[in-house]
């Protein structure tokens, strides 16, 4: 240990700073006389300087004390400390110049110090004071840093965030890590050095891992290119290299973050795609200053819609849901953000027409974003009557009230499970689509449907399930090795809903580009690796068999539908087949069957309305024969 752990007394630091300043003054005189001078010259200069030296020490002491340069912990010197030192040194030099002029004019015709000495002394003092603090800081960090290296680290990103990551790791005395280098996608900076650490192009990753024994990679780019990030992450996972990322700049304090905030990368970070480009001007022109109702506002998609819509400053945002506790949490979140959002929280059930009628007549919404629904396939397979009551009757109530109250646009949020449905939940959403689309043209209200697949991190989705199973030691349950799903993040889905909703003219079903489908078992394996566990050794994957109504593969369009492009590259318009006028009558008959609680009768009527509804792995398969 080269330095004591206890803090150095403040008076000692002041004395050291004054001695360093005197040394700087001596160096300034040496430089002025080119390190040599005749004895008589030295005597003349000393005669002048002797009257100034006490003033020099007094001024320095007062200025250093006023600027509090002795207050900072030297071993933790920050940029703020450096600013204070530079300011104090400069201010001292200005005082010397003023006092020297006064001495010259009113005392003995001599300046306190020659002008060249003042300049050199300022530079030398700054260098000595700053250098001494850096030296102490380096000695402290090196003497306290663990000598046992556990990880050899690469930092992905050689920008400001990458530089801050390097400093954070080096400053953490408990970190058992050695930084091998930076990697970056920018070829122009390859080969350069950043604070003494070499920058390599990201294509050199494999060679660096092989030659340098890299064991950890930290992603230090705030908005990395998703394709490049995923390639690097895939390589790291395949080679058992730990992957971490730095926190968002929003969580930095005074431009810094701690090593503890560097966290494991999440599966969401790998499945997310490039940022979506929205027609902000169009969305803003439609939503700003409007009264907007969001149903299912406490759910994953509903709350995501609320957050997105809030950015466009509606005159009032109506949050409707029957889930009291999640709604309370959302209310507290919106209040704490203090963004002057005008909103109302309404606890209510879309199945209760009288309650919904009161909501519409009280607030007169201009836009309705309908996200309320039952969505869990196995639960709805066991409870068809509840699926009908919420997903069909609830939607019918909202559609009818939108027509009666001259709502401008009604945007329904549907699912890929409505395409060629194999389960009650998907069929109930398809029936809701049919009713909404069939109501278009009955008045000025424009009915628009948006359809997408699984949403990362939504309530009850597979990723939170896998996370809980991994945290509890497993096993991780997968229904079938062949199952694939499309995934999208909550912000992506909500942004595309807004874009589609504002571009729609009524009657359309918009389908989103969900990217490539993902095998669920591969997803489970990645999440296990990202958790630092080894499949087969630390945790197992268990195949449980398809659940009632579950598909192996999801679709976004049925084979009777064609897609048309729109102005947005990630949104397509489904060219729908015409539904018969009998459908509305059959839907009303279906709702009336609720009171009978006859599951077979209810599902039979659903199949009559949606002929492509073929049950899979379900007790209702007998109805298809």
- Whole-angstrom Cα distance, residue 210 to residue 155? 16
- Whole-angstrom Cα distance, residue 402 to residue 271? 37
Pairing of strands 177-184, 197-201: parallel
3-state secondary structure of 368: strand
Phi, psi of 355, deg, nearest 5: -65, -40
**Opening angle at CA 210, ends 205 and 215, nearest 5:** 75
- Whole-angstrom Cα distance, residue 434 to residue 610? 9
- Whole-angstrom Cα distance, residue 315 to residue 265? 38
- Whole-angstrom Cα distance, residue 126 to residue 82? 9
**Opening angle at CA 476, ends 474 and 478, nearest 5:** 160
The structure tokens listed for 548 are: 């009632």
The structure tokens listed for 485 are: 């799903």
- Whole-angstrom Cα distance, residue 592 to residue 606? 12
The structure tokens listed for 220 are: 């230090």
CB atoms within 10 A of CB 604: 14
Q: How far is CA 470 from CA 267, 487, 532, 538, in A?
A: 13, 20, 10, 10
Pairing of strands 242-245, 216-219: parallel
Cβ 615 vs Cβ 423: under 8 Å: yes
Of the candidates 610, 614, 609, the one whose C-alpha atom is nearest the C-alpha of residue 624 is: 614
**Catalytic (active-site) positions:** 417
The structure tokens listed for 96 are: 């010397």
Q: Which residues of 376-406 are buried (b: 16+ CB within 10 A; e: fewer)?
A: ebeebbebbbbbbbbbbbbbbbbbbbbbebe
DSSP at 121: H
Q: How far is CA 1 from CA 141, 143, 145, in A?
A: 10, 6, 10
Which residues, at least 6 apart from 377, have a Cβ–Cβ distance to it below 8 Å?
Answer: 417, 423, 424, 425, 426, 547, 548, 549, 550
């Amino acid at each position: 240990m080269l330095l004591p752990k206890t803090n150095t007394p403040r008076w000692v630091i002041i004395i050291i700073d004054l001695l360093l300043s005197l040394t700087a003054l001596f160096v300034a005189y040496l430089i002025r006389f080119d390190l040599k001078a005749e004895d008589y010259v030295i005597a003349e200069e000393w005669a002048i300087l002797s009257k100034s030296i006490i003033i020099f020490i007094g001024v320095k002491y007062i200025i250093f004390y006023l600027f509090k340069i002795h207050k900072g912990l030297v071993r933790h010197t920050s940029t703020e400390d450096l600013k204070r030192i530079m300011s104090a040194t400069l201010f001292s030099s200005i005082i010397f110049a003023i006092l020297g002029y006064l001495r010259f004019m009113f005392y003995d015709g001599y300046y306190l110090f020659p002008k060249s000495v003042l300049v050199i002394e300022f530079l030398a003092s700054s260098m000595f004071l700053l250098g001494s603090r850096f030296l102490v800081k380096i000695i402290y960090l090196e003497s306290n840093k663990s000598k046992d290296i556990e990880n050899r680290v690469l930092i992905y990103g050689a920008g400001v965030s990458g530089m801050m990551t390097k400093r954070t790791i080096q400053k953490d005395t408990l970190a058992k890590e050695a930084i091998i280098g930076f990697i970056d996608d920018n070829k122009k900076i390859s080969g350069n050095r950043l604070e003494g650490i070499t920058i390599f192009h990201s294509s050199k990753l494999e060679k660096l891992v092989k030659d340098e024994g890299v064991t950890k990679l930290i992603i230090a780019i705030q908005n990395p290119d998703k394709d490049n990030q995923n390639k690097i992450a895939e390589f790291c996972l395949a080679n058992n290299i730990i992957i971490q990322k730095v926190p968002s700049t929003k969580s930095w304090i005074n431009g810094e973050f701690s090593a503890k905030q560097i966290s494991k990368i999440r599966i969401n970070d790998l499945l997310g795609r490039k940022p979506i480009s929205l027609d902000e001007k169009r969305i803003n022109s439609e939503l700003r200053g409007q009264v907007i109702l969001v149903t299912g506002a406490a759910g994953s998609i509903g709350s995501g819609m609320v957050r997105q819509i809030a950015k466009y400053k509606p005159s009032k945002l109506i949050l409707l849901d029957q889930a009291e506790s999640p709604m309370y949490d959302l209310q507290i979140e919106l209040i704490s953000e203090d963004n002057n959002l005008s909103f109302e929280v309404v606890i209510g059930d879309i199945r209760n027409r009288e309650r919904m009628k009161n909501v519409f007549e009280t607030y007169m919404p201009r836009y309705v974003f309908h996200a309320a629904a039952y969505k869990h396939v196995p639960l709805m397979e066991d409870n068809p009557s509840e699926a009908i009551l919420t997903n069909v009757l609830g939607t019918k109530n909202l559609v009818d009230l939108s027509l009666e109250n001259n709502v401008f646009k009604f945007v329904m949020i549907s699912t890929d499970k409505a395409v060629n449905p194999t389960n009650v939940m998907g069929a109930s959403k398809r029936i809701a689509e049919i009713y909404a689309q069939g109501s278009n043209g009955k008045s000025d209200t424009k009915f628009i449907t948006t359809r997408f697949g699984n949403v990362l991190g939504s309530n009850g989705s597979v990723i939170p399930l896998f996370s809980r199973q991994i945290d509890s030691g497993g096993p991780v349950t997968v229904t079938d090795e062949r199952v694939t799903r499309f995934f999208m993040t909550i912000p992506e889905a909500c942004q595309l809903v807004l874009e589609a909703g504002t571009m729609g003219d009524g009657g359309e079903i918009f389908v989103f580009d969900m990217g490539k489908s993902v095998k669920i078992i591969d997803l489970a394996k990645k999440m296990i690796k990202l958790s630092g566990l080894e499949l087969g050794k630390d945790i197992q994957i268990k195949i449980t068999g398809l659940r009632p109504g579950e598909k192996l593969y999801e679709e976004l369009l049925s084979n009777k539908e064609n897609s048309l492009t729109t102005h947005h590259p990630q949104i397509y318009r489904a060219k729908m087949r015409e539904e018969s006028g009998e459908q509305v009558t059959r839907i009303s008959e279906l709702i009336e069957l609720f009171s009978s609680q006859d599951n077979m009768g209810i599902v039979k009527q659903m199949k009559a309305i949606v002929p492509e509804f073929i049950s899979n792995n379900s007790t209702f398969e007998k109805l298809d024969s």
